[in-house]
Amino acid sequence: MLEEKGSCYVSRERAVRRRRDARELLGDVSGQRSQRERAAQRYLMPAKESSNSASPSQTDFMSQNLCSSVSTLVSNILNKLISPAIEQLSVEFGIEDELNKVKRILQAIQPTLAEAEKRKLRWLSAFKDAVYEIEDVLDDLNYGARRKSISQENKIKKVLYSCFFSNSITSFKLCWRLNIIIRKMEDLAEDIRLSFPINRVPQIPDYSSHQTHSYVDEETVIGREKDKEEIVSSLINYAAASNNEKIMVLPIVAMGGMGKTKLSQLIYMDHRVESHFQLRIWVYVSNAYFDVTRIVRLIIEVATEQFCDFVNMNVLVKQLREIISGKRCLIILDDVWNENLYLWKELKTLLDYCGKGSAVVVSTRSIRAAKIMTTHTIYCLEQLSEEDSWELFRRRAFAKDTEEPASLVKIGKDILKRCDGLPLAIVTIGGMMRHENDEVKWKAVLDSEMWRLDVANDLT
């Protein structure tokens, strides 16, 4: 958890020590202090106790230095965010959407800094705190990448690293910290808007990542029929019970790349589900801040198939009640990262307006989030079986209706043992081997050092 602004100096001092220790571990110790450390020492040292307040000239000087420091920091961070190295790392760690949103917000606010300094606006100091926190995340991102010696030339290794490490606790914390920062900056954005005339208000963007949807080609999904049957049966049996007045919440939990969204799509499109529930709603939540107002608006849009531009929560709740009250509903919430019990309860209270036998299916990587949301049980999605793994790999690696060379089949099955039933890794490597018929190249993949990634240590 990020520390509050009042103790930001202690937090920064700890961050400086952490980065110094990291540099020592990496053998990259420098006698030069970073710009961040110099700025922290020069402008952010706690003021000495004194009975006399600062003079107006001293206050103006400090304010000017504050804005200058913020402008410099923002420029430096924007340069980092558009650098190829950071863009590549953001993909490998699974935080590209969050960093893109941070970039858009900084680009929108940057032109206001000069006037903010002149007018000594109060939000400037809080904005600087948020910028420092962004710099901390970028430092940790670079350190984590160098510590694991990610190969920039080996595409397969990067894919596997993304499958395993980007879903580890370390990556989850980076993403969570970024979402907290984004929320802080969005809160500040309202103060910024109120600081300027309406025709000069900076447009703080709402950058959203690629959305999932409810459609899936069932023939492309391998090994999830049993999972689908178990969940569909649970949903229908719950709906059929006469004493179930409250909505059922069933989380599907697994690491990234395991096929949670595919399974949710199979459930949504099942003909029994379609006929049993009066209303089906698919909402892509994403790992952005869990905004209850946004989710309610999306539910209304899906149910009515019309754009909803209401911003007043009371109006939104009234319309939601009119839509879902008395109806047996199935609501899919895809890619939920929220671990805040109070935010979930706020949404759950509204969804309880659904009719008897309604259900919510949630896909999430976080077991803690699942425990917060579940009303009955948590469905933990497992790896594919050896047979299903081979079928999925075979479809990707070999062209349809062509002979599969026995030597490549043997190597392929050995490769699969190292994929550990992870669908995303199987699909990716199978697709890459599709146009490779050279046995030597297949053996090179099998013997690659990429399989020696210490996944267990990544998860600590």
Does residue 291 sit in the same domain as residue 362?
yes
Q: Within a domain: residue 304?
A: yes
Domains: count for the chain = 3
Does residue 408 sit in the same domain as residue 302?
no
For residue 253, the cross-strand partners are: 364, 380
Instruction: Return the pLDDT at 59.
Output: 46
Residues 6+ apart with CB under 8 A from 407: 439
Distance CA 247, CA 205 (A): 35
Instruction: Return the pLDDT at 246.
Output: 81
Query: Which carries the bigger pLDDT value, residue 113 or residue 132?
Result: 132
Does residue 117 sit in the same domain as residue 80?
yes
Does residue 70 sit in the same domain as residue 170?
yes
Instruction: Return the pLDDT at 72.
Output: 79
Distance CA 410, CA 265 (A): 33
Q: Within a domain: residue 207?
A: no
Q: Within a domain: residue 75?
A: yes
Q: 99-120: per-residue pLDDT in tens?
A: 888 888 888 777 777 777 667 6
Q: Within a domain: residue 213?
A: no
Q: 390-416: per-residue pLDDT in tens?
A: 999 999 888 887 888 899 999 999 989
Does residue 241 sit in the same domain as residue 116?
no
- pLDDT of 50 above 70: no
Does residue 154 sit in the same domain as residue 239?
no
Answer yes or no: are the C-beta atoms of 360 and 331 closer than 8 Å: yes
Does residue 79 sit in the same domain as residue 159?
yes
Answer yes or no: are the C-beta atoms of 160 and 425 closer than 8 Å: yes
Rg of the chain (C-alpha set): 26
Instruction: Return the pLDDT at 219.
Output: 86
Does residue 181 sit in the same domain as residue 249?
no
Residue 85 binned pLDDT confidence (cut-offs 50, 70, 90): confident
- Domain containing residue 432: 386-458
Q: Within a domain: residue 205?
A: no
Instruction: Return the pLDDT at 210.
Output: 61
Distance CA 227, CA 231 (A): 6
Domain boundary among 139, 167, 200: 200
DSSP secondary structure letter of residue 113: H
Domain boundary among 380, 407, 431: 380
The region of weakest confidence among 93-102, 223-232, 247-256, 448-457 is 448-457
- pLDDT of 343 above 80: yes
Query: Which carries the bigger pLDDT value, residue 19 or residue 413?
Result: 413
Does residue 284 sit in the same domain as residue 431?
no
Does residue 97 sit in the same domain as residue 192?
yes
Domain boundary among 347, 380, 413: 380
Q: Within a domain: residue 281?
A: yes
For residue 334, the cross-strand partners are: 284
- pLDDT of 145 above 70: no
Q: Within a domain: residue 82?
A: yes
Instruction: Return the pLDDT at 144.
Output: 64
CATH of the domain at 327: 3.40.50.300
Instruction: Return the pLDDT at 295.
Output: 93
Q: Mean pLDDT score of the chain, rounded to an integer?
A: 75
Burial class (CB in 10 A: 0-12, 13-18, 19+), 285: buried
Instruction: Return the pLDDT at 428.
Output: 79
Does residue 360 sit in the same domain as residue 390?
no
Q: How many CB atoms lie within 10 A of CB 458?
A: 18
Q: 234-287: per-residue pLDDT in tens?
A: 999 987 775 666 899 999 999 878 999 999 999 999 999 999 999 999 999 875
C-alpha distances out from residue 146 to 26, 89, 98, 132, 153, Å = 8, 10, 21, 21, 14
Does residue 373 sit in the same domain as residue 406?
no
Distance CA 306, CA 311 (A): 15
Instruction: Bin 282: left if φ > 0, else alpha if -120 < ψ < 50, else beta.
Output: beta
Q: Within a domain: residue 211?
A: no
